[in-house]
Structure 1
C-alpha cells in the first residue's frame, strides 16, 4: 500500500480514537492516556537505553495515585508541575547549549523519564478534572490547536521556509513555518472560542494557542534531540507512517506543565 495512504489511515485512526475516548467519558479518556503513558515510557527507555522494569513501576505508581484517584489537590498539582518545569528547563538548556554534555547516568535517566514523560502525562490526565467535573471540551480544544499548528507549520514551512529554526537538531523546521503555525493556531483558538461548548473567552483560547505553539515546538525539538542522540528516526513503530506515541505527543507533553500552571493561575485569580 502507498506510504501516504498508510500514513493518512493511521492518522485518522489515531485522531478518531483520541477524540472518541475523550468525548465518551472521563474513564475512557483516562484509560486511553494510561495506555499512551506506558507506551511512551517504553519508547523513551529505548531512546536512552534504560531497562524498563523500574520505569514501569514508577509510571504505574504515579498513574494509580494521580490518575485513577483524581482529586483537585492544589499541593499535589503544584508539586507535579514544579517538578516537570524543572526537568523541562534542564532539557531546554541541553537543547540550546551546543557544548558536549557528559554521559547521562542511570539516576539522571530516571529523573528525565519522570519529569519529561511520566509527570506531564499525569498532568495531562488531571487537567480536564482540575476544576471538578470532567471538561472534555478543554482537551479537545487543546488538541485542535496542536493539530492546527503542526499542519500549518508544515504547509507554510514547505512553501515559504527559508530560515532554519534549529538546523543542528531539526533541519526541516523553519522560522517561517513556526510563525505560520502560530498564526493559524491563534486563528483556531479564536474560532474555538465562538462555540459555547468550549466555554472560555477568546483571550483565554488565544493565550492557550500561544503557549501550545511555543512550548509545543520546543517539545518537538527536545524529542528530536533525543532521537538524534539515539541515532533513530522515530521513537517507535506503533503508528505506521507516523512513528511512535512520543512522535505524536511530544508537543503536548512538553507544553502541558506550562499550560497546566497557566490554567491554575487563571482559576486562582478568577
Structure 2
C-alpha cells in the first residue's frame, strides 16, 4: 500500500480513537490515556536506554493513585504534579538551549525525567478534564469536561498544520536549526495566528465564558507545544532514531504524536490553578 495512504489511514484511526474515547465517557477517556501513558513510558525508556519494567510499575502505580485514590480537586496533589512536571520541563529546556554537549544521564536523572516529562503530564491531562472529589459512577459525568481536552488537541493540531503550511510556503528563517532544521519562525507565527483563530471559533461553539483566558491558553499550548516537539526531537537525536516507536504506521510512536500536549499541559494546568486560586 502507498506510504501516504498508510499514513493517512493511521492518522484517521488515531484521531477517531482519541476523539471517540474522549467524547464517549470519562471512563473510556481515562482508560485510553492510561494506555497511552504506558506505551509512552516504554518508548521513553527505549530512547534513554532505561530498563522498562520498573518504570512501567511506577507509571501504573502513579496512575492508580492519582486517578482512583487522590481526589481530583486536591490542590496539593495538583500543584505537586504541575510543579514537578514544570520543573523537569524547565531543566529539559535549559539542556535544549545549552550549547555544551549533553552530559550522560545517570539512572536517577532518567527516572526524574520519566516522572516529570512523561508520567505526570499524562496524569495532568486526565485531571484537567475531571474535577470530582472522588471517582464515582454516579458523580463523574457531572464533572467531566471533554471539550477542554478536545479543544486543546484542536489547537495543537491547527498549530502543527498551519506551521507546516506557512513554513513550507514562505518560511526562510530557521527557528532552531540545530535540533529541527525544518521549523521556521514564519511557520511558528503562522501556526500561532491560526491557533488563535481556532480558539475564537471554538469559543463560539462551546460558549466559553472568558475568551481572554482561552486565547492565553492557546498561546501557552503553541509556545510550549513547539518547545515540547523540539525537546522530543533532541531525545530522538541523542538516541539516533527517527521515531520514538512504530505503533502508528507513518507517524511513529505515541510520544511522537503527543510530545506537544504532554510538554505544554503542566504549564497550562498551572496557569488554570493560579487563576482558580486568585479568583
Normalising to structure 2: TM-score of the pair? 0.94
Aligned equivalent of 1:60: 60
Aligned equivalent of 1:137: 147
Q: Secondary structure at the match of 2:220?
A: helix
1:103-252 matches, cutoff 5 A: 103-130=104-131, 133-195=143-205, 197=206, 199-252=208-261
Q: CA RMSD in A?
A: 1.1
Aligned equivalent of 1:14: 14
Q: Secondary structure at the match of 1:95?
A: helix
Query: Post-superposition shift, 1:151?
Result: 0.5
Structure 1 unpaired stretches of 5+? none
The answer to whether the Cα contact below 8 Å between 2:72 and 2:132 also exists between their aligned partners in 1 is: no
Pairing 1:260–2:265 present: no
Normalising to structure 1: TM-score of the pair? 0.97
Q: Secondary structure at the match of 2:182?
A: strand
Q: Would you say how many aligned residue pairs link Structure 1 and Structure 2?
A: 269
Runs of 4+ that moved beyond 6 A? none
Aligned equivalent of 1:42: 42
Query: Post-superposition shift, 1:202?
Result: 1.8
Query: Post-superposition shift, 1:98?
Result: 1.2
Structure 2 unpaired stretches of 5+? 134-142
The answer to whether the Cα contact below 8 Å between 2:225 and 2:261 also exists between their aligned partners in 1 is: yes
Distance 1:193 1:203 in 2: 10
Distance 1:90 1:36 in 2: 24
Query: Post-superposition shift, 1:100?
Result: 1.2
Deviations 1:1-36 (A, max 9, x none): 111111111111100100011111111000000000
Query: Post-superposition shift, 1:204?
Result: 1.8
Distance 1:267 1:130 in 2: 13
